[in-house]
């Protein structure tokens, strides 16, 4: 029996196939404008790799913001349960999972391997991956370049709570001739502060674990750990935490 976890986020769709003991396949596709179409692409992709989601021999759980579009899933669960599960598997234990996603940021406290408390940022996209994306666009760089620049800078202060206003603050700083390094450092700093503030509303754990797209960026994790005053762990599979959790929960609940 194979257990498939599909996590359709706002920018990337992650899929994991788990055979009960090992991860036997994983892939990422960009989420297009329609999550329904993305779900279809994942199905095709899986079929090519030899996994048939319709067979009696597979169980599928979908999660993420596009979860309801995965019509062939046997069950849908929220990102919270899946990130909690997957994050704790990657972390090998309990702790607080910080997931900075494209659309929202989640703080999940995991006890005994399951999510027990969570917080999400409110409506606004400040403090999410989206904010960095918008700002990178504004600066005419991609996200990796933005982080590379930021490491060399001395952060300016961005005080606005709202992405729209923060964007105009950035524009006026560009106009004022501030260096690209300082501005990008300020952008990263503003996300780090906001994420840290959200995380500080949960009790301080032994371990923080950063998942989601931004976990791939060591500089971000480093700044976050400085802000929180505690080690922030990341791992290569960090982006797959939700999909992995979904696959593991499928193995647990849908045998």
Partner 1 sequence: MLKLPENFQDYSEARQQGFIKLKELKERGKKVVGIFCTYTPTEMVLAAGAVPVGLCGMSDEPIPAAEKFLPKNLCPLIKSSYGFAVSDTCPYFYFSDMILAETTCDGKKKMYEMMNELKYTHVMQLPPGRSGSTALHSWYDEMLRLKEVLEQQLETVITEDDLRNAIRLKNRERKATLDFFEIGRLKPSPVSGYEISTIMDSNSFIFDTEEKIAILEERTAQLKKDYQENFAGKPSRPRILITGCPSGGVRDKIIRQIEELGADMVAFENCSGPRAQKDLVAEDKDPYLALAEKYLRINCSVMSPNPERIEALGEMLDEYSVDGVIEIILQACHTFAIESYRVRKFVTEEKGLPYMALETDYSQTDTGQINTRISAFLEIID
Q: Which residues make up the interface to partner 1 (CB under 8 A)?
A: 65, 77-81, 104, 114-118, 120, 122-123
Phi, psi at residue 200, to the nearest 5°?
A: -70, -10
Residue 112, exposed/middle/buried by CB under 10 A (0-12, 13-18, 19+)?
Answer: exposed
Question: Minimum CB separation from partner 1 for residue 64, in Å?
Answer: 10
Q: Taken in order 164, 169, 170, 171, is the CA torsion positive or negative?
A: positive
d(CA 254, CA 239): 24
- Token pair recorded at residue 90: 């990657």
Question: Minimum CB separation from partner 1 for residue 81, in Å?
Answer: 5
| Nearer residue to partner 1 within complex by CB, 56 or 203 | 203
Cα 190–chain centre separation: 18
Question: Minimum CB separation from partner 1 for residue 173, in Å?
Answer: 26
Question: Minimum CB separation from partner 1 for residue 92, in Å?
Answer: 22
| Nearer residue to partner 1 within complex by CB, 75 or 207 | 75
| Nearer residue to partner 1 within complex by CB, 126 or 146 | 126
Question: Minimum CB separation from partner 1 for residue 78, in Å?
Answer: 4
| Nearer residue to partner 1 within complex by CB, 43 or 130 | 130
- Of the candidates 217, 205, 206, 210, which has an alpha carbon nearest to the alpha carbon of residue 238? 210
| Nearer residue to partner 1 within complex by CB, 104 or 169 | 104
Spatial contact of 75 and 238, defined as CB atoms under 8 Å apart:
no
């Amino acid at each position: 029996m194979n257990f498939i976890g599909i996590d359709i986020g706002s920018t990337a769709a992650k899929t994991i196939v788990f055979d009960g003991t090992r991860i036997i396949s994983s892939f990422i596709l960009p989420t297009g404008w329609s999550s329904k179409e993305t779900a279809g692409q994942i199905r095709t992709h899986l079929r090519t790799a030899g996994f048939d989601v319709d067979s009696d021999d597979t169980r599928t759980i979908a999660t993420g913001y596009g979860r309801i579009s995965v019509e062939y899933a046997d069950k849908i669960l929220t990102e919270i349960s899946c990130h909690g599960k997957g994050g704790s598997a990657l972390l090998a234990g309990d702790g607080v999972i910080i997931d900075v996603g494209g659309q929202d940021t989640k703080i999940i406290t995991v006890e005994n391997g399951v999510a027990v408390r969570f917080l999400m940022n409110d409506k606004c996209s400040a403090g999410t991956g989206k904010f960095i994306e918008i700002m990178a666009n504004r600066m005419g760089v991609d996200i990796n370049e933005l982080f590379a620049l930021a490491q060399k800078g001395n952060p300016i202060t961005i005080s606005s709570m709202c992405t729209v206003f923060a964007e105009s603050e950035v524009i006026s700083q560009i106009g004022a001739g501030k260096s690209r390094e300082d501005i990008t450092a300020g952008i990263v700093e503003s996300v780090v502060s906001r994420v840290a503030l959200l995380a500080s509303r949960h009790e301080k754990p032994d371990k923080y674990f950063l998942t989601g797209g931004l976990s791939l960026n060591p500089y971000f994790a480093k700044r976050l750990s400085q802000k929180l005053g505690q080690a922030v762990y990341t791992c290569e599979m960090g982006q797959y935490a939700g999909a992995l959790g979904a696959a593991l929960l499928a193995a647990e609940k849908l045998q």
